[in-house]
Chains A and B, each alone.
Chain A
Amino acid sequence: MNQQDKYAQLFAAEAREHLAEMSRALVALEEAPGERGSLDAIFRSVHTIKGMAGAMGYDAATRLAHNVESVLDELRGGRREISPELIDLLLQSTDVLDGVVEATVAGAEPPDPSEVIESLVVWRLADARQTAATEQEETDVVSPPPMSSVSPSNASIRNAASRQETTSST
């Protein structure tokens, strides 16, 4: 077996273990959203998958894992809170990552993870929109702003999302 095949086999085995761990810990997190251990376990698993996929040059898996990791970073840093919708999005991301990993290790073209990546980026940017809206409300008390300076629209968030995705994949 050459070295690259050896690494590919190690990647497949370890990535599968971590995907299973992510699913298990996400269910635990859904039942007990304050459970820090589950959150840390999901973060470590997706971080490991990102590192391994990056080393193998598996771009789709690296990009998706990176974006999941960024969302988890927000939660671990206490900047955002877990919601049932976010758990659903993370479970969906894990499923897509599983599909990407399986196709990649089988030597097939992996499914394009762009759609779920965009949802992850939109979730992260929604906080910026909320913060901007709150700041705007505070400003409103002093002097009402023109309509154009109100918080960004969903369209502008989606545009920013595609820019972020491009940046994070480099």
Chain B
Amino acid sequence: MSRTVLVVDDAIFMRTMIGDILKQAGFEVVGEASSGVEAVKKYKELKPDLVTMDIVMPDMGGIDAVREIIDEDPDARILMCSAMGQQGLVVEAIQAGARDFVVKPFQPSRVIEAVQRLLG
């Protein structure tokens, strides 16, 4: 059975691109969210194996969403999708419980490697 992923990003463009990368590598994208609030809600509903999480979003950013998801499920596997120059925020996200990060613009192979590593 393929592993399930929730893709979180406020840009449809990014959700589509990340979703395509994951689907092509055999993962099942079970849901998408465009804000931190929606991400927390969908995580509870869908219980995906992995979440890809943007940082800058309206209605609760990615770091607060990581905190809430980890509160709900300390074993949640969350991969941060950050931009260049956001090192400080990435550290904050990892301290909040995110497992790893990729930096945009990312290479598809880098995303797949990170996802595979997190899913063991």
Residues of A participating in the B interface, judged by any CB pair closer than 8 Å? 3, 6-7, 10-11, 14, 41, 43-44, 47-48, 50-52, 54-55, 57, 66
Contacts and interface: CB of A to CB of B under 8 A. Distances in A.
Nearest to A43: B56
Nearest to B58: A44
Contacts of A54: 83-84, 104-105
A96 to B, nearest CB: 21
Given A51-B83, A54-B105, A55-B17, A10 B12 contact: yes
Interface of B: 10-14, 16-17, 20, 56-58, 83-84, 104-106
Nearest to B16: A10
- By secondary structure, the A interface counts as helix
A66 B56 CA distance: 14
A59 B24 CA distance: 27
A8 B24 CA distance: 19
A55 B13 CA distance: 10
B18 to A, nearest CB: 10
Contact of B56 (A3, A44, A57): A44
A51 B105 contact: yes
B116 to A, nearest CB: 21
